[in-house]
Amino acid sequence: MRISIIGCGYVGLVTGACLAEAGHEVVCTDNDAAKIGVLNQGRIPIYEPHLDQLVDGNRKKEKLVFTDNASEAVRSSSAIFICVGTPPLENGDADLSAIDAVARVIATESASPKLVIEKSTVPVQTGQQLKQALAVYGRKAGVGFRIASNPEFLREGTAVEDFLHPDRIVVGVEDETTERELREIYGPILDGKFNCPVHNPSCPPHEQPNFVVTTINSAELIKHASNSFLALKISYANALADMCERLGANVEEVTRAMGLDPRIRPEFLRAGLGFGGFCLPKDIQAFIRLAERAGMDFALLKEAERINKQRIARFLEKTRNSLWVVKGKRVGMLGLAFKPNTDDIRFAPGIELIRRFLSEGAFVSAYDPAAMDKARAIFPEISYRQNAYEVAKGADALLIVTEWQEFRGLDWERIYDSMARPLVIDGRNLLDPAVMARLGFEYHSFGRPE
Ligand code: UDX
């Protein structure tokens, strides 16, 4: 099929590259001409494992094309995925202005009927508004549109794998033709007919992923409901960690045993600095606002959000308890990205920590394997180092902010010798407290006996 993707962010790029790999002819467009220029030079503007390989291979085969001409992209395809950003407004609502602008382009540029699929995370009932907008903006041309909602559940850092090996593909539709067309689009992924660049041991998949067909409203709600539930799980684990600290239990032992119950499952129960990134924090906020507008106080979600914001304060408190005076101290940060295997620092706890430490008069140095360029654009004044050892040298405290795999295997004896004060605050419970104590470190983590 000829497919166009509007918006070349994480979701758009991964969707475009994976659908091209699955055999479709894909045109990706973005109103950021500089980004399209970069992509056309064969460079990927984000750090996402395997994406470069997929983009490169499919560009060479001309199955994947990038253009800043949205009209051309719209006209040349029969199905259009909307993958533009829906960032939070001041009040927590999702900003849908980019979706509105895209609707205008699609409606005015289409010369033949199209299937318009919203993949951006949007509040429930956006589909209805989109349908109306397409009809109003395109009233002169008189072209018909069908719409669908197809929320994306990919995680940064494993986005390609998540797209090609999904647990479920959710499609919200209004008619059988649309359902059939979406089955055709996802056919190669459902049947395992693609080359997996990830070398996933379960590729080709033994079983088809669940193809879940719902109404458009339900599909839209599924995305917000899923992400908010994941946020709830993390906040639950974090509240539990605080309780474990007060009562002398170990949160890892507790969550491990809880997770063995198949009704609970072990994922998303890791305590520490809390959730960041561009999805969970904004989606839980948008869901709270959505509930308010529907006349409901979703206090459970508000509490999850409050617990999450408190994690930064808990981390600072632990640092302050040890350092006594923060002003003038040298703090070294290991990690900046909101999680490992990404260079994304949007709503990253590490960024908020830098802001707080700087405002308290500390000297901050940092190392992250992927996210330093992005952090430099926000905090040019801190000192960025080549590796973890450089950050540790002369530091009064070493702060573990992102659980990059390479931090696990560091030579901690060497670090101990090089620090001004061998203090480690581990915001991701990455290291073993017993080992750190044996090495002589003053070591603090979350919810574990010290
Ligand atoms: C999330 C959803 O998982 C994904 O389905 C959706 O499409 C987009 O939002 P992502 O933002 O890439 O994906 O990251 P995720 O792996 O979910 O982690 C979110 C945050 O929660 C990170 O900051 C991570 O460090 C934190 N987290 C995760 C915890 O603090 N504890 C956990 O147990 C799990």
Which string of DSSP letters, residue by residue, matches 313-360?
A: HHHHHHHHHHHS--TT-EEEEE--SSSTT----TT-HHHHHHHHHHHT
- Atom 24 (ligand 1): residue with closest C-alpha? 275
Residue 233 alpha carbon to ligand 1 centre in Å? 11
Give the mean model confidence (pLDDT) for residues 332-344.
Answer: 96
Test site for ligand 1: of 46, 339, 426, most ligand atoms within 8 A of the Cβ: 339
Is the C-beta atom of 379 inside 6 A of ligand 1?
no
Asked whether the predicted pLDDT for residue 450 surpasses 90, the reply is no
Note the CATH number of domain 306-444: 3.40.50.720
Give me the pLDDT at residue 228, please.
97
Is the C-beta atom of 338 inside 6 A of ligand 1?
yes
Instruction: Tell me whether the CATH fold assigned to 223-305 matches the one assigned to 306-444.
Output: no
Determine if the pTM surpasses 0.85. Answer: yes
Give the mean model confidence (pLDDT) for residues 177-203.
Answer: 92
Give me the pLDDT at residue 26, please.
98
Is the C-beta atom of 339 inside 6 A of ligand 1?
yes
Give me the pLDDT at residue 334, please.
98
Asked whether the predicted pLDDT for residue 203 surpasses 90, the reply is no
Domain 223-305: CATH superfamily is N-(1-d-carboxylethyl)-l-norvaline Dehydrogenase; domain 2 (1.10.1040.10)
Report CA-CA distances (Å) from 273 to 91, 253, 318, 343, 426.
Answer: 24, 18, 12, 18, 9
Q: Quick one: what percent of the chain has pLDDT higher than 70?
A: 100
Give me the pLDDT at residue 345, please.
97
Q: Is 244 a catalytic residue?
A: no
Is the C-beta atom of 10 inside 6 A of ligand 1?
no
Domain extents in the chain:
2-214, 223-305, 306-444
Give me the pLDDT at residue 321, please.
96
Domain 2-214: CATH superfamily is NAD(P)-binding Rossmann-like Domain (3.40.50.720)
